[in-house]
Amino acid sequence: SKTISKCYVQVTGMTCASCVANIERNLRREDGIHSILVALMAGKAEVRYNPAVIRPAAIAELIRELGFGAAVMEHCGEGDGILELVVRGMTCASCVHKIESSLMKTRGVLYCSVALATNKAHIKYDPEAIGPRDVIQVIKDLGFTTSLVKKDRSASHLDHKQEIRQWKRSFVVSLVFCIPVMGLMIYMMVMDSQLSNSHAHHNMSSEEMEALHSSMVLEYQLLPGLSVMNFLSFLLCVPVQVFGGWHFYIQASRALRHNTANMDVLVVLATSIAFLYSSIILLVAMAERAKVNPVTFFDTPPMLFVFISLGRWLEHVAKGKTSEALARLISLQATEATIVTLGPDNVLLSEEQVDVELVQRGDIVRVVPGGKFPVDGRVIEGHSMVDESLITGEAMPVTKKPGSTVIAGSINQNGSLLISATHVGADTTLSQIVKLVEEAQTSKAPIQQFADKLSGYFVPFIVAVSVVTLFAWIVIGFVDFEIVEKYFLGYNRSISAAEVIVRFAFQASITVLCIACPCSLGLA
């Protein structure tokens, strides 16, 4: 008897269906090759051969001679089929044992486990020897009812609507509060420069007097130490910190729990510290009834949140676009198939409707005019035109006659066809495309991985730098107080030198943190 072995060959360089046909046609002629099946999207060929005549390496070499790249795949476990079933009617452990032992005795079943509590059976099988319908039949013969675990076809995991909504809201909230803060800030800067100019000349025009008055309104102290400007900034900053930064806080806390520092941690660190520091400095100023208004950083959080939430929002919109296309692709898959049994001379004996997941390789499937092809296959009987635009983009229907290949998801137009299934389930062209797009979405671009790695070092580095700044200025201050006096303008003469130094050092280190945070924008 001839023993038939099976090997998988990874084939690169195939561009279209004619490449597939070319490989299949040429290899079938070779001695010792029993059959060959090439999947275009997966880029692999499944070859059944007689090991006495030919070796897998020789088969790969034959494909190479045709002008493609080919390598024998060592681990061929991918050929295993996996089946998830719901089994009803089990009452006790002996039922479980009965099902498991019967299945394990069945030829082609590699592994099987049945859970009584969940009524589920998990079965691995060799698609060459046995198919899902046979497995279901075995369980039915034992007296139990069984059905497939329904797969979620809607592709809800690809839906980014929720994230898009959440980041959009985050962005809008931050923006609404950011504009007034920015306005106040720019206004103050312009006024300050005008005032410093006019002080230099000592002769003020009436416009400059007005400008002085209006900026005085902002500098006017509602309570001692609390200016209108700072109070307004504080009020505008709180909602941003809470609503705009909500998601960042959640993400950052998750990252910290796993001892990693990501972008969110930086954003949260800088904004929280800027906000808290500014608030505390205001309280201190109020407690001291300070004459000069303290320098606050209330403008930092809103601006940061605006930029970053805008970035996230756009990112999710882009992801959503790809996913939408993918969801459309998934929806093109047929859900049912009509399987027929043929007698001699291709006489129809019987036909039954089954779930697409239950179609086995080698099944004869009938596709009526207007119907979708449930699986990839080869036409056995019938002539028809088929619309394959979902894969090829070609609007003109393609003629199909016995021997032509058909693609799952394409639409049969005018004739009834009988096809023999060659690729089923996860091996169909459509499933492979979906899988490739999903993988492309989940994998990161190398530059993105690099940025993530960097920000892992970047966060601790910035924190370290700001701590160094803090201590450096404290040391400088105690060694040479005049430097601090020169740079720390408008401090209250009534407080001790030590306090001035600490305050200035703190201000310097906070500034480092706040400025380094938008650096993360650079990273992004």
Mean per-residue pLDDT, 215-226:
68
pLDDT at residue 199, as a whole number: 60
Domain coordinates of the chain in residue numbers?
5-73, 82-148, 153-332, 333-428, 444-523
Residue pair 116/93 in contact (Cβ under 8 Å)? The answer is: yes
Residue in 117, 118, 87 with CA at minimum distance from that of residue 102: 87
| Residues near 230 by beta carbon (within 8 Å), at least 6 away in sequence | 278, 282, 293, 294, 296, 298
Could you say which architecture CATH assigns to the domain 5-73?
A: 2-Layer Sandwich (3.30)
3-state class (DSSP) for residue 394? coil
Which whole number is the average pLDDT over 332-340? 87
Fold match between domain 5-73 and domain 82-148: yes
Q: Of 22, 66, 72, which Cα lies nearest the Cα of 47?
A: 72
* 248-293 confidence digits (pLDDT tens): 888 788 778 877 666 677 778 778 877 888 888 788 878 877 776 6
Given pLDDT bands bounded at 50, 70 and 90, which one contains residue 93? Answer: confident
Reported as a single tens digit per residue, the pLDDT across 399-446 is 999 988 898 989 999 889 999 998 888 788 888 887 787 777 666 667
CB contact at 8 A, 413 and 28: no
Q: What percent of the chain has pLDDT over 90?
A: 10
Per-residue model confidence as pLDDT tens digits over 10-63? 888 887 777 888 888 888 888 889 888 887 777 888 888 888 888 888 999 999
Q: Which pLDDT score, from 0 to 100, does residue 474 have?
A: 87
The answer to whether residue 307 scores a pLDDT higher than 60 is: yes
> Is the model's pLDDT at 521 over the cut of 60?
no
pTM of the predicted structure, to 2 decimals: 0.57
Decide if pLDDT at 369 tops 90. Answer: yes
- Give the residues across from 37 on adjacent strands: 46
Q: What is the mean pLDDT of the chain?
A: 80
* 201 has a pLDDT exceeding 80: no
pLDDT band for position 191 (50/70/90)? confident
CATH 3.40.50.1860 fits 333-428, yes or no: no
Segment among 67-71, 100-104, 238-242 with least mean pLDDT: 238-242
* Phi, psi at 491, each rounded to 5°: -85, 160
Least confident of 136-145, 184-193, 391-400, 443-452: 443-452
Q: Is the pLDDT of residue 386 over 80?
A: yes
pLDDT in the model for residue 270: 75
The yes-or-no verdict on residue 365 having pLDDT over 90 is yes
Answer whether 319's CB lies under 8 Å from 160's CB.
yes
Residue 519 has pLDDT above 60, yes or no: no
- The highest-level CATH class for domain 82-148 is alpha beta
CA atoms of 13 and 36, how far apart (whole Å): 18
